[in-house]
Amino acid sequence: MMRGAAAAAEAFARRHRLRWWEALPWIAALAAFFVFPTYLSFGTQLLVTVLFALSLDLVLGYAGIVTLGHAAFFGAGAYTVGMLAAHAGWNEPLSGLAAAAAVAATIGFLSGLVLLRTHGLTLLMLTLCTMALLEQAANMGAAWTGGFDGIPGLKFQKILGLFEFDVLYFRTQYLYALAVLFACFVLVRTLVYSSFGQSLTGVRENVLRMHAVGAPVRTRLVVAYTISAALAGVAGGLFAQATGFVNLAVLGLDRSAGVMIMLILGGYGRLYGAFVGAVAFLLLEHVLAKAYPTAWQLGVGVLLVLVALYARNGILGLAEPLARRFAARRGGV
């Protein structure tokens, strides 16, 4: 029995072991703060998008829950922060993010109890309907949400009473977004390499077998969906705090579809696929929109076609065989 416990502990430690290359995205993000000081507004948007994509990866990449309505939770978090700041004077950043996570998690839990009884196309359409209902509610509740015009001009206190939001250069917002992303990433990484995360992967690969071994499949899916919703709510709240406004676009189909495209590009179910996909998509969009303002989506479409044909597991999936081949050559030498 002691031997089995030791083996389990060793396997757990091996799953959680950090690799040297995992530091590279964080080093690159910190370096960008100093190298590209005039692009920190874009960088903040990129970090928020990475966090949103990471939240989707937890349910799509690991639990196999296909959704087109993940922007419902992003928007719920953004509107929570916006309405609290505009109508209740609650403009403390960290507690605002906690409130955004709580509201989004509640919506995720309640909707997950109903939606996750279904699967396939039915589930896809129901998640889309959930997002559409929230968008319509935000549009109709103009007294609180600003309706179509949204809630502009949001002001927030200093972070921890020390760091004031920089509306001109976005220095504070960038580092704040990076810190929040890092904390959320540590949480997600711990989850996916734990026994809970392994069980989610098992559900994704063979749900019937997981039922056969007695795993509480639906309970774990609802828990994963709730955690994912909370993380998306944090991303939405972070967006509202960084930009100082909220409008109906945070609940739009474009946001849900865009984040799914990012995961497909980067490679879902790989943790860092959210990073690679968000960076690739937003940089390509930024460059092409400058070069071809009226036809930039054509370039994104061509890239998606190439990924679908030649890199079924995304950019990271294409890079993994090359990395293994390089490691094998070094081992042979």
pLDDT score recorded for residue 37: 93
> Among 107-111, 256-260, 325-329, whose mean pLDDT is lowest?
325-329
Report how far residue 323's alpha carbon sits from residue 289's, in angstroms, rounded to the nearest whole number. 32
- Is the distance from CB of 252 to CB of 135 less than 8 angstroms? yes
Q: Collapsing DSSP states into helix, strand and coil, what is residue 246? A: strand
In angstroms and rounded to an integer, the radius of gyration of the C-alpha atoms of the chain is 20
* Residue given tokens 């020390």 in the structure block: 162
Instruction: With cut-offs at 50, 70 and 90, classify the pLDDT of residue 16.
Output: low
pTM: 0.91
How do residues 238-273 score in pLDDT, each as one tens digit? 999 999 999 999 999 999 999 998 998 898 888 899
How do residues 171-190 score in pLDDT, each as one tens digit? 999 999 999 999 999 999 99
Q: What is the average pLDDT across 146-169?
A: 90
The secondary structure of the chain in percent helix, strand, coil, rounded to multiples of 5, reads: 80, 0, 20
Residue extents of the structural domains in the chain: 38-252
Q: Collapsing DSSP states into helix, strand and coil, what is residue 151? A: strand
Backbone angles phi, psi at 151, to 5 degrees: -120, 100
Instruction: With cut-offs at 50, 70 and 90, classify the pLDDT of residue 14.
Output: low
- CA distances (Å), 45 to each of 49, 66, 236, in order? 6, 25, 11
Higher-confidence position of 83 and 331: 83
Structure tokens at 22: 């995992």
pLDDT score recorded for residue 9: 44
Instruction: With cut-offs at 50, 70 and 90, classify the pLDDT of residue 3.
Output: low
- Is the distance from CB of 228 to CB of 59 less than 8 angstroms? yes
